[in-house]
Amino acid sequence: MAAQVRPAPYRRGARFAVLAVAALLLAGCQSAPVPAPDTEVPVRPAAGSAPSSVSFAPLRGTAADASELAHPSLAVKIDNHEEARPHLALNRTDLVFEELVEGGITRYVAVWHSDVPDEVGPVRSIRPMDPDIASPFGGIIAYSGGQEQFVEMMMATPLLNLVFDYDDTGLFSRADDRPGPHDVVLRAGEAVSRNAALAPPPMQFSYGTADPLVAPALAAAPTSRIDLVFSDARFPAWEWDGAASTWLRSQEGSPDLEASGERVGATNIVTLRVGIDWSYGEVPKTVMIGSGEAWVSAAGRTAHGTWAKDAAGSPITLTADDGSPLRLAPGNTWVELVPGEGSATFTP
């Protein structure tokens, strides 16, 4: 039977709030409070290509020693319940995908490759959209378990599955200082080293300079703050820190701090407007195969465009309104999978 799609029930009447025309006009007469763009950055590989001899980290677009990239990526399903905070090593990720789950809360698919920490977590269970999110990276996926049908979906991917419920190798443990079930921790470095023969991930996005949206044709508007609404229970925000060239994250009005005490930050915020498939009862499935609106925020600017993904194993393609590629700044990226009934507001 065909999948039924219905609106998310958590926040009725919410719409995507895009940049006002006035803000776009402002972009033409006001420069963003960001450093001058790089002028001598070498050409980086395009999305979908394998790591090259130029030695760019495939999931960050940053220069790196090739020998340090010769291992698989590690994708981990990360809890985002209030009792799961603070998280471990989110600032060392290459990519993080935030997705809606049941009850209106969110969870993450966090991906480490260029900088794999000793431990990550808290680790939680898989959801039906996760195979479509994680498949393009290859390598390893780690999670605590899940409904049998969702575990079978993930097991059917080419990824190596590491599952807490089935683990007898000591890769997972429970942290004494955290409440269950928000206490599962993965020995990330050990998980990667044991499986170092697996292939590194291919490039997922295209990268430009430190200010990749500066071209006038992109019509990127200055952005000081991004407010996202997944539901009444989850409304993260990002503030641009020009001095640090970083977006700083808040959750439900409070600064988002990881276990190290550092504010969670990112070089790029990619906001995708997505549909929700309700075929699995109360478990929402983010629809990842298809296309929709996209916003790329980097270096204190935001450009509008579209996203497209044609198969589970394909990367997400980002295209600007003028038809050119939407490129990211070299660095870590958060991909915000905001439901169509949610909202995204970009403040100049």
The least confident of 45-54, 114-123, 161-170 is 45-54
- Flag whether pLDDT at 27 surpasses 90: no
Q: How many whole angstroms separate alpha carbon 20 and alpha carbon 106?
A: 28
In this prediction, residue 47 carries a pLDDT of 62
| 3 state SS of 207 | strand
Q: Tell me the CB-side half-sphere exposure of residue 270, using CA atoms within 13 A.
A: 28
pLDDT at 318 > cutoff 70:
yes
* Two structure tokens written together for 90: 């989110």
Structure tokens at 77: 């399903």
pLDDT of residue 263: 98
pLDDT at 37: 35
Provide the β-strand partners of residue 210.
Answer: none
Q: What is the pLDDT of residues 233-246, one digit of tens each?
A: 999 999 999 999 99
- C-beta separation of 338 from 346 below 8 A: no
Q: Residue 227 half-sphere exposure, CB side, CA atoms within 13 Å? A: 12
pLDDT of residue 193: 98
Average pLDDT over residues 165-170: 94
Q: Which of 297, 242, 239 is nearest to 19 (CA)?
A: 297
Q: Averaged over 188-205, what is the pLDDT? A: 98
Q: Which domains does the chain have, with CATH numbers?
A: 66-194 (3.50.90.10)
Give yes or no for residue 298 having a pLDDT over 90.
yes
For the residues of 230-278, what is the DSSP string, one character each?
SSSS---EEEEETTTTEEEEEETTEE-B-TTSPBPEESEEEEEEE-EEE
Q: What are the CB-based long-range contacts (under 8 Å, 24+) for 316-323?
A: 316/136, 316/204, 316/205, 316/272, 317/47, 318/205, 318/206, 318/270, 318/294, 319/294, 320/217, 320/218, 321/218, 321/219, 322/217, 322/218, 322/219
Only one residue has tokens 């719409």, namely 15
C-alpha–C-alpha distance, residues 256 and 86, integer Å: 8
pTM: 0.87
Contact predicate 347/20, CB 8 Å:
no
Cα separations (Å) of 118 from 121, 169, 193, 266? 11, 16, 11, 21
Q: How many Cβ atoms are within 10 Å of 310's Cβ, its own excluded? A: 12
- CB of 78 closer than 8 Å to CB of 110: yes
Residue 53 has a pLDDT of 52
Which of 228, 211, 295 shows the shortest CA–CA distance to 32?
211
- Determine the Cα–Cα distance for residues 171 and 320; give it in Å rounded to an integer: 42
Looking at residue 12, its pLDDT comes to 33
pLDDT for residue 339 is more than 90: yes
Give me the pLDDT at residue 21, please.
Answer: 31
Distances (CA, A) of 25 to 18, 29, 172, 319: 14, 7, 52, 21
* Residue among 140, 119, 141 at smallest CA distance from 187: 119
Q: pLDDT confidence of 34, banded at 50, 70, 90? A: very low
Strands 265-266 and 246-251, sheet pairing: antiparallel
Check residue 61 and give left, alpha or beta (phi > 0: left; psi -120 to 50: alpha): left
Q: Are strands 237-241 and 225-229 parallel, antiparallel or unpaired?
A: antiparallel
